[in-house]
Chain A
Amino acid sequence: MAGLATSLGSGAMTNTITELGDASTILAIGTNTTEAHPIAALQVKDAVRKGAKLIVANPKEIELCRFAAVFLQHKPGTDVPLLMGMMRVILEEGLEDKAFIADRCENFESFEKSLEAFDLDTVEKLTGVAQDKIIKAARIYATQTPSSIIYCMGITQHVHGTDNVLAVSNLALLTGNIGKPSTGVNPLRGQNNVQGACDIGCLPNVYPGYQQVTSPDARSKFESAWGVELSDKAGLTHTEIFDALLEGRIKSLYMVGENPVLSEANASHAIEAMEKADFMVVQDIFMTETAELADVVLPGAAFAEKDGTFTNTERRVQRVRKALDPVGEAKPDWWIACELAKRLSAKGFDFSGPSEIMDEMGSLMPTYKGISYSRLEKGSLQWPCPSEDHSGTPFLHAEKFGTETGKGKFMPLEYKKPGEDTDKEYPLLLTTDRSLFHFHSTMTRRVYGLNVLGKEELLNIHPEDAEKLGIADEQMVKVASRRGEVEVKAKVTKKCIVGTVSMGFHFAETPTNLLTCCELDPVAKTPGTKVCAVRIETI
């Protein structure tokens, strides 16, 4: 997200999901779309059915490969060289959009210079992808337009995830595939309202609407609106919060609807941190593994039990409606926070309901200004929606980019090694993936049928590696990293490349994130869970 904000001026998906259906080329990199975003995957398949070419770049042979014109099975953590290789082909063959680069972009020269390091021989060696495939992919992407790029955690969850994102945006800028329908740089956001949570400022560095907490203007705007003095320094990120807990810098933790015991990279570190907290409140709908560690557990209302809005991955603000009364004494999260605020004698928390909260949000966030419950009754709106008569924005950057200069910024990149090195002790790379039948774990593990369909964690391993280690299909094995170990059933499959294994992280019985690496991307502070060195032993 931080990457796109730098190069394009906005971290959100530039285009709309349904526009994918009309694309002529789709590059799906670092996304197992069918499993993680099934409905977006349908648009991709629709496009292919209509004649579009699909390029899949993924270390694992995912379901979408069935539809792909080119499948680039690159080694984990080599996205930058792969994309830079493609861009080098585009420039060498003169397939770039010269007018777009000249009129709408900046910093091209230094980017072009950084491409020098990425000759195809080097790229092939780093990525393990044959040159002719890279050339073919580059030509299709550059010439059969409009071309869309979709990506997901396979790009961001790396120690240099920001570089990966910048490589993606460079590619779109280079060919002018941005600011038009069915093009763009489209990060598929994981959770139903992760886009909304970012938009409304659940981030340590920005207020609602991406207004910097370090900006005096922004601060004074919110101070006067909220009638209090606000801190002028950026807060700690998710992973940093756990470090601070461990070090005793943070004493109280208030956590809503999250289960770091399963989802946090290097989970044992997180558990230790939470156990050190003086006081911890968990607000959730189930007694999760994390809630067990809390001092107070508050029962939240589930999505069907409350009114509100979600903002989906394509910036679409949609109305969530109450279908049921909350179970037992459960309450909506906003109500609980308001009650706490009142007990701490704060003003400005007398909301009669979500509609009023939305009105306050709109008054402070230019992108949401034109959105109100009465408008949402008539249909969803895609931000930016700056005024009541604005119909929303299906795709961004049509006229200019959101950067200070209004230009798309090319970013020079260099090759960095994937997060963790393998060695004699930990000779294989582990990457995490997802299952269609689960979403993290808290909710889906409590739906009987989903557990029949996706019944256990599996370690996907290439037959060549399995043979070397004497592992048979469906055999239980121990996976150990420098941080922990878990036991899991092996699935021998050619869908993995040699030297790389993969696991999901949906099962408390098999806490994959005990293994993963929490080294952060220096800019976005996203942990590098997609690459971690492991050793596999038979039990």
Chain B
Amino acid sequence: MTEKIELKINGLSVTADSGMTILDAALRKGIYIPHLCHHRQLEPIGACRLCLVEIQGEWKKTVISCKTLVKEGMVVLTETPEIQKIRQINVELIVADHDTDCLNCFQNTKCALQRVADHVGMDKKRLDRLKKPDKLLPIDDSNPFFTFNPNRCVLCGICVRTCDEIQNIQAIDFVHRGLGTKVAGFGDRPRLESNCESCGECIVRCPVGALTEKDAVRPTHQVKTICAFCGCGCGVVLGVRDNKLVSARGDLGNKASKGRLCVKGRFGYKFVNHPDRLTSPMVKKDGNFVEVGWDEALDLVADNFAKNKGDKFAGISSAKATNEDNYVFQKFTRAVMGTNNIDHCARL
């Protein structure tokens, strides 16, 4: 049973549910507390240390709001001079260790680090004293669908936890220690050599530009539909630009998949844009296919089908086609061709 809990955050009265964290309660109320490693679908780890808040009164102390549960009557301050000081140094340290070529980053304007830095602010003098990395780390572009750029990684661990908690694959984890810490496959091997299934769930959740789809472009509009591969029937939102499919993401509202996609669902749509697609009816003349118009092709087919009505005809439909396609097809076979010789590839 969830109970309602009343607390005060920054002087505002906030109603939260029992079991909720201070961070969730604040975000729901529209109070922004900077954070990088928090993700609502994942267990909190409290690694980024940005969501520090001060609890006043008898429990007075500074805590991380992503792991601290709300309590009745709690009084919380999300901004104090002490917290601001820690946060600011924290952000400066991240930025000093970050490839800040933002305009060339796919996450530009959508980046959680930009938002944090914007909110917290930085001391330029201090930042200038910090040492920037001498050289950029090598990029892992082994996977054909996505790229991992460690120079843009903030080590929030969201990809690691996604792979573990959501996908149960555990293909990646932190490797090395100290400043050399990064996310990689077992033994710091490239992702392609790990047991990564390329589901792309980590890319979706990466709050910065560390994990990005290769050749990603932003769609001009998106359409909610169903994946065309296996029988799971996952909801997919396809992105379209210039009458081409350019992206796919899981449909969170879909009851079968709840937003999850596998490698085929997320990247497999690319066959639709393939140059080998058939674009015109073709008729075999003297052993070679010749492109013809629909009328010529349909007349030819109708004439020939007319010769062998009844059980001399058979139709094989497709388990890939829609219900409507298949309905019309079986109706055609039964009502027009006069036979029940109709099947599809269900048994394969």
Contact = CB atoms under 8 A, between A and B. Distances in A.
Given A287-B276, A297-B289, A452-B144, A193 B347 contact: no
Interface in A10-31: 17-18
A39 B260 contact: yes
B346 A198 contact: yes
A375 to B, nearest CB: 14
A449 interface: yes
B319 A286 contact: no
A476 interface: no
A319 B255 contact: no
Contacts of A338: 328, 332
Contacts, number: 478
A447 B89 CA distance: 46
Contacts of A296: 281-284, 297, 300-301
Contacts of A498: none
Interface string A97-135: 000000000000000000000000000000000000000
Interface string B261-286: 11111011111101011111111100
B18 interface: no
Contacts of A234: 340
B316 A294 contact: no
Contacts of B233: 192, 310-314, 316, 318
A197 B326 contact: yes
Contact of A312 (B192, B256, B347): B256
Q: Interface extent on A, as a size class? A: 35 or more
Contacts of B300: 296
A207 B331 CA distance: 9
B332 A341 contact: yes
B265 to A, nearest CB: 8
Interface in A502-533: 524-527, 529
B282 A297 contact: yes
A340 B313 CA distance: 14
A49 interface: yes
Interface string A238-263: 11010011000111111111100001
B101 to A, nearest CB: 26
B339 interface: yes
A203 B341 CA distance: 8
Interface string A218-246: 00001000101111011111110100110
Contact of A318 (B235, B315, B318, B343): B235
Interface in A292-350: 294-300, 302-314, 316-325, 327-334, 336-341, 343-344, 346, 348-349
A264 to B, nearest CB: 7
B317 to A, nearest CB: 4
Contact of B230 (A36, A254, A319): A36
Contact of B268 (A300, A329, A450): A450
Given A238-B316, A252-B313, A257-B321, A453 B347 contact: no
Interface stretch (A82-90, A167-175, A355-363): A355-363
Given A256-B329, A450-B264, A344 B306 contact: yes
A256 B316 contact: yes
B218 interface: no
Interface stretch (B52-60, B112-120, B128-136, B219-227): B219-227
Contact of A191 (B230, B268, B307): B230
B32 interface: no
A208 interface: yes
B308 interface: yes
B256 A380 contact: yes
B277 A329 contact: no
B260 to A, nearest CB: 5
Given A197-B344, A324-B240, A337-B328, A346 B268 contact: no
Nearest to B279: A328
Contacts of A239: 347
Contact of A193 (B234, B323, B328, B331): B323
A343 B298 contact: yes
A436 interface: yes
Nearest to B144: A449
Contacts of A145: none
A46 B167 CA distance: 9
B258 A344 contact: no
A252 B314 contact: yes
Given A188-B231, A294-B284, A453-B144, A264 B348 contact: yes
Contact of B323 (A156, A294, A358): A358
B348 A357 contact: no
A266 interface: no
B223 A254 contact: no
A53 to B, nearest CB: 15
A324 B263 contact: no
A289 B238 CA distance: 29
Contacts of A329: 279-281, 293-294
Contacts of A1: 346
6 contacts: A37-B230, A197-B344, A319-B224, A321-B224, A324-B240, A443-B229
Given A38-B230, A323-B238, A446-B271, 12 more contacts: A188-B231, A191-B320, A191-B346, A193-B322, A253-B315, A291-B278, A299-B282, A309-B322, A327-B279, A361-B323, A439-B268, A449-B145
